[in-house]
Structure 1
Amino acid sequence: MHPVILFDGDCLFCHASVYWIAARDRKAVFRFAGQQSAVGRVLLGMMGAPGGDTVVLIEDGCYYVKSDAVLRIGRRLAWPWNWLAAVGFLVPRLWRDHMYDQIAKRRHRLAPKHDHCQLPPPELRARFLDELPR
């Protein structure tokens, strides 16, 4: 089963992050779902994972949030991101999560304002979950 990234579907910064990840995910490993989507809500409930101000990575039957999710995502991306993620794990989680929280607090200001979201191209759209993975 592919790892699933659950993101805040109402956040333009989060949408931009999905595009950024997909562009560097050369093996198309990740699948994506908005936390507010039907699939996202079911997966959050099944895993008992928090939603809202954090990205959630579901991988191998476990869920990861905040900096752990970001670094685990980074490990599967192309170089140099996989290397940077490995180095990032050397930083204590308390510090990493504090940095994550500071960015999460400001995420709505970090993304350019638009009155609509860009539709993903078909090859990326195919990686968004419309139903639960099997």
Structure 2
Amino acid sequence: MHDAGSSSARPAHWPAGRRQSVSLQRSTAAAAAPAASAAAAARAGDEIFAADARPVILFDGVCNLCNGGVNFMLDWDREGLFRFAALQSDAGRELLVRSGRHPTDISSIVLVEQEASFIKADAVLRIAQSLQAPLPLVAAALGLLPRLVKDPVYDVIAGNRYMIFGRSTSCRLSDARFSERFIST
């Protein structure tokens, strides 16, 4: 993970949010293998950011709600600030590990930046801050709510997304206009 003070491609107006980063510190009783695993997790996904520093939004590729959200973001992110990867893809699993999450955890949207990751409502609101108006204002207003309120609402929607919105049989395929925005590995 990069130092929080390092320069990055994220806009300066993005608010601080819940960060998830992999700690490289281990107790002295920990074996060398877990420490090596933590170091590997911290480096996971480095190649994804090597040539393109734009943040990556991880989404459930078989969820109709999530695919609709990606379509919405493509329409409202006219500057191309974000890239996308399905949570179920190799790149998605690698970035989940980088974010300190289990590689098969598809319970939340994850916004992965070079130096930090955001989940649940924090991810949604951080993304909305960078989309076209009026979404930054809506995000700022909703950001005033405590996490104690935002995350349970997110969890109820996420936990029922297949029942309410259904599933796709496969991951969303991007159209040619947006192919450079999707990480397919």
TM-score range, shorter chain: 0.7 to 0.9
Corresponding residue of 1:129: 183
More strand by share: 1
Look up the equivalent residue of 2:97 and give its one-letter code.
Answer: G
**Counterpart pick for 1:89 among 138, 143, 147:** 143
Q: Which runs of 4+ in 1 moved over 4 A?
A: 112-118
Within 5 Å, which residues of 2 pair with 1:1-134?
1-50=53-102, 51-111=105-165, 119-131=173-185
Q: Please list every run of 5 or more consecutive structure 1 residues that lacks an aligned counterpart in the other structure.
A: none
Q: Please list every run of 5 or more consecutive structure 2 residues that lacks an aligned counterpart in the other structure.
A: 1-52
Look up the equivalent residue of 2:113 and give its one-letter code.
Answer: E
Look up the equivalent residue of 1:68 and give its one-letter code.
Answer: D
Look up the equivalent residue of 2:59 and give its one-letter code.
Answer: F
Q: How does the TM-score come out when normalised to structure 1?
A: 0.88
Identity across aligned pairs (percent)?
39
The verdict on how the C-alpha distance between 1:31 and 1:114 changes in structure 2, with shifts beyond 3 A counting, is: closer
Please provide the CA RMSD for this pair: 1.8
Alignment length (residue pairs): 131
| Higher alpha-carbon Rg | 2
Aligned-pair CA distance for 1:121 = 1.5
| C-alpha contact (below 8 Å) 2:108/2:158 kept by paired residues | yes
Match of 1:71, SS state, is: helix
Aligned-pair CA distance for 1:116 = 5.8
Aligned-pair CA distance for 1:118 = 5.7
Q: Provide the rounded CA distance (Å) in 2 between the counterparts of 1:39 and 1:28.
A: 19
| C-alpha contact (below 8 Å) 1:12/1:117 kept by paired residues | no
Aligned-pair CA distance for 1:97 = 0.4
